[in-house]
Amino acid sequence: MFLSLRTEAEEALTEALSALSLPTGDLGLEEPPEDVGAILASSVAFRLAGEVGKAPPEVAGELAETIDVADYDYLASVGTQGPYVNFHASDAYYEKTLEAAREDSYGRLEPTGREVVVEHTSANPTGPVHVGRARNPIIGDSIARLLDFAGNDVDRHYYVNDAGRQMAVFTWAYETFDESELPEPDREKADYELVRYYRKGNAVLEDGDEEEVEAAEAEIASIMQGLENGDEDAYERVERVVDTVLGGMRESLSRLPAEFDEFVKETRFIRDGSVDDLVTRLKGLDEAVYEEDAWQLDLPDFEKNLVFLRSDGTSLYTTRDLAHHEWKFEEYDHAVTVLGEDHKLQATQLAAALDLLGNDTDQLDSVFYSYVNLPEGKMSTRAGTGVDLDDLLDEAVARAREEVEVRMDDRIRNDDLSEDDIDRIARQVGIGAVRYDIVSKQPSKAITFEWDRALNFEAQSAPYVQYVHARTCGILSEAQRASENRAAEPRDGEADREPGTVDPALLDSPEERDLIEVIGRFPAVIESAAEDRQPHQIATYTRDFAETFNAFYRERQVLTDDEALTAARLALVAASRHTIANALSVLGVEAPESM
């Protein structure tokens, strides 16, 4: 509804400007500060003052007078405050907003018909997911949810780097070492068990004796050649390692939760011949050069050449990724990729090469995030430094459980949480807190991981917002219980009133109006966040929402003796519940019904 209101304000302003023969290029429409009563405002008068030769407040006044709100449904009045033109919403606006938000799916935008692929995580399957990379699945999954909620048809892809040197090293190590030479795994889980081979292998390559290293390198090279030649045996050897490790990683990721529609292996593009075709096309480009036995692309605007075929004839990651992207462009209208900031240059080169190959690179969007570091430095799978995602999530749930138990004693609400409830709440709150902490920040900002900060359950965290949802559920179930009691002893006149009818005019206090306004903004927030691929905007909104709801909760008793008033406020609470539940769902944070 806010979107319609904004459209009306735009129209009204444009018409008024035209009527006064003023330019309509920049309407200066904005959301005014909280203490200004208006729902929308324009600062256009500032810019026109010079042109008209009058002071801004005077221009604002003329504009306000020119607009006739009778022409619009959602504008009640247009006033001025100094140089600002302020728009006030009509009763119809509040009524329609409340009506729209009665739907469970409130906030979901109309289908766009666009098919979008969101590729995220795509970590090499070398071992357990650690916190340094955990930003990727959380941001990626939230973007996927956001684009879906904004009306797109979304697929989530994990691009599996199974043809690179790292996997050849891993395969060699797995086949070479005996488990008896390895330390105990940190967990009884495939990725934890296998990463021991990978670490051992890398240690040997680094410090082993010359002969051993030489033999290993020969084996690694033969595996890579085998993959490049489409050798079925090499493929199966690597696949066994890849699929096993990936299986373990998937389990961890699903806890976030981050699920995928498809795991796309890069060997696929070697095996189906598309890499060969691509190499042929690349060689044919004017920018292609053959230097030092390797085929390269002399990209304009880039200092160094991009090698796309090694001197031994094998392809490189970027070569295969080019084929991968052309495939995505064929299958989807739009492709979004979530990448670590260290891939920025590579991503720009990829786009430049795709452009040379005749693709429309507007179809591609990259979102970059900066890695999470430990206070003592970087996390690395190979070196075994870092905090595993599983450990972080376990710790989060354990701490949340402690909180639940501490709070049990001074709970007012007498609803006897069962052991299952405690488990559920601990999981929802603990994992929600981790996820929310990450998704609520701009991806470009650096994060240093600290236990206490990541697991803070206080305000501006998931539990703060989840609590609001639990409150709405508590009120609604209380109302349900009361109405069932009444139904048991029917009173005269009770049947006259439709249970579903509410009179929104009763919701006229500032707290109620503010709450409806915040609810009304939700679809616009979804639209903007989806447009910018910025799920953190939704997190910021949930905090605003929670604050506004809490003010309403503090000042206005919902369940009263006044039935009509109670019905109206219950409708507002239900609308609030849908809004906050959907916002949390876009963030991938669970919405507990009690906590």
Partner RNA sequence: GGGCACGUAGCUCAGUCCGGAUAGAGCGUCGGACUUCUAAUCCGACGGCCGUGGGUUCGAAUCCCAUCGUGCCCGCCA
* Residues 392-411 interacting with RNA (rule: CB under 7 A): 400, 403-404, 407, 410-411
Query: Which residues neighbour 130 within 8 Å (Cβ) at sequence distance 6 or greater?
Result: 379, 381, 386, 387, 388, 389
Q: Is there binding between residue 553 and RNA (CB under 7 A)? A: yes
Residue pair 159/119 in contact by the 8 Å Cβ criterion: yes
Q: Is there binding between residue 17 and RNA (CB under 7 A)? A: no
- Is 53 buried (19+), middle (13-18) or exposed (0-12) by CB count in 10 A? exposed
* Contact positions with RNA (CB under 7 A) in 49-88: 50, 81-82, 84, 86
* Contact positions with RNA (CB under 7 A) in 148-177: 161, 164-166
- Exactly one of 10, 32, 175, 243 binds RNA (CB under 7 A); that residue is 32
Q: Is there binding between residue 316 and RNA (CB under 7 A)? A: yes
* Contact positions with RNA (CB under 7 A) in 99-138: 124
Q: Is there binding between residue 470 and RNA (CB under 7 A)? A: yes
Q: Measured from the CB atom, is 86 or 96 closer to RNA?
A: 86
- Exactly one of 70, 412, 487, 488 binds RNA (CB under 7 A); that residue is 412
Q: Measured from the CB atom, is 185 or 340 closer to RNA?
A: 340
Residue 300 tokens read as: 């304009």
Residue pair 191/128 in contact by the 8 Å Cβ criterion: yes
Phi then psi for residue 186, to 5 deg, are -70, -25
* CA dist 443 → 34, 366, 417, 524, 535 (Å): 28, 12, 37, 22, 10
Residue 49 tokens read as: 């003052």
* Contact positions with RNA (CB under 7 A) in 500-539: 528, 531-532, 534, 536-537
Would strands 306-309 and 294-297 be described as parallel, antiparallel, or unpaired?
A: antiparallel
* Contact positions with RNA (CB under 7 A) in 273-312: 292-294, 303-305, 307, 310-312
Q: Is there binding between residue 343 and RNA (CB under 7 A)? A: yes
Provide, rounded to whole angstroms, the least separation between the CB of residue 305 and RNA.
Answer: 7
* Contact positions with RNA (CB under 7 A) in 172-211: none
- Exactly one of 15, 341, 365, 527 binds RNA (CB under 7 A); that residue is 341
Question: Quick one: which H or E segment has residue 75?
Answer: strand 75-81
The angle that helices 2-19 and 56-66 make with each other, rounded to 10 degrees, is 110
* Contact positions with RNA (CB under 7 A) in 354-393: 370-371, 378
DSSP state of 28: -
Taking Cα atoms as reference points, which of 576, 531, 586 lies closest to residue 552?
A: 576
Q: Is there binding between residue 420 and RNA (CB under 7 A)? A: no
Q: Is there binding between residue 543 and RNA (CB under 7 A)? A: yes
Q: Which string of x and - marks every residue 213-252 that binds RNA (by CB under 7 A)?
A: ----------------------------------------
Q: Measured from the CB atom, is 305 or 363 closer to RNA?
A: 305
Cα separation, 398 vs 429, in Å, equals: 10
Provide, rounded to whole angstroms, the least separation between the CB of residue 482 and RNA.
Answer: 9
Q: Is there binding between residue 562 and RNA (CB under 7 A)? A: no
Q: Is there binding between residue 542 and RNA (CB under 7 A)? A: no
Per the listing, tokens 């299958």 go with 331
Phi then psi for residue 465, to 5 deg, are -75, -40
**Residue 230 burial (CB count, 10 A):** 14
Q: Measured from the CB atom, is 14 or 456 closer to RNA?
A: 456
DSSP state of 101: T
